[in-house]
Amino acid sequence: MSNLVSVNPVKKAAEISSREFLVFSLGDEEYAIDILKVQEIRGYENVTRIANAPDFIKGVANLRGVIVPIVDLRLKFRLANADYTQQTVVIVINIGTRVVGIVVDQVSDVMTLTAEQIKPPPEFGISLPLDYIHGLGNLEERMLVLVDIERLLTSEELAIVERVGE
């Protein structure tokens, strides 16, 4: 009797091509990031402000001994300011070797998207900085903007974030 397990190649391909995303909102729009980049989700707490930091960096927080820069995604995306509420959360993410917190209005759920549900981002024909959009998740009546968190912050911004976090 053999100990080999037969794997259905079609099912395996579907598993490989599907990915899980953490869905969050900023205003009326829904965004999603790769769940593998998420370290944890925390309620928003006051941060220590850093003088002369860019507007989108709210400050730093001490996360169990690690100083983590906190980025307000609304400000980064140049959206209207919103008041922080009970639903406002900080998604702690890993970007390479860095740990960064991003402030969002709320987290709604974790979704699995197949390759067929992910559409390429639109091309506007002008030089809009949209490199951070991985694609659009199409879920019946919902549309998710899939954010490539690795490209969200430019290398200059990551250097600033790193200096702020030191």
Q: What is the DSSP string of 51-79?
A: TT--TTEEEEEEETTEEEEEEEHHHHTTP
Q: How far apart are the C-alpha atoms of 96 and 98, rounded to whole Å?
A: 6
pTM: 0.81
- Ordered by where they begin, the domains of the chain are 20-163 (2.40.50.180)
Nearby residues of 120 by Cβ (< 8 Å), 6 or more positions away: 135, 136
Tens of pLDDT along the chain (166 residues) come to 444 444 454 444 444 578 999 999 999 899 999 999 999 999 999 899 988 888 888 999 999 999 999 999 999 888 887 789 999 999 999 988 889 999 999 999 999 999 899 988 877 655 555 678 888 998 888 999 999 888 887 666 766 766 665 6
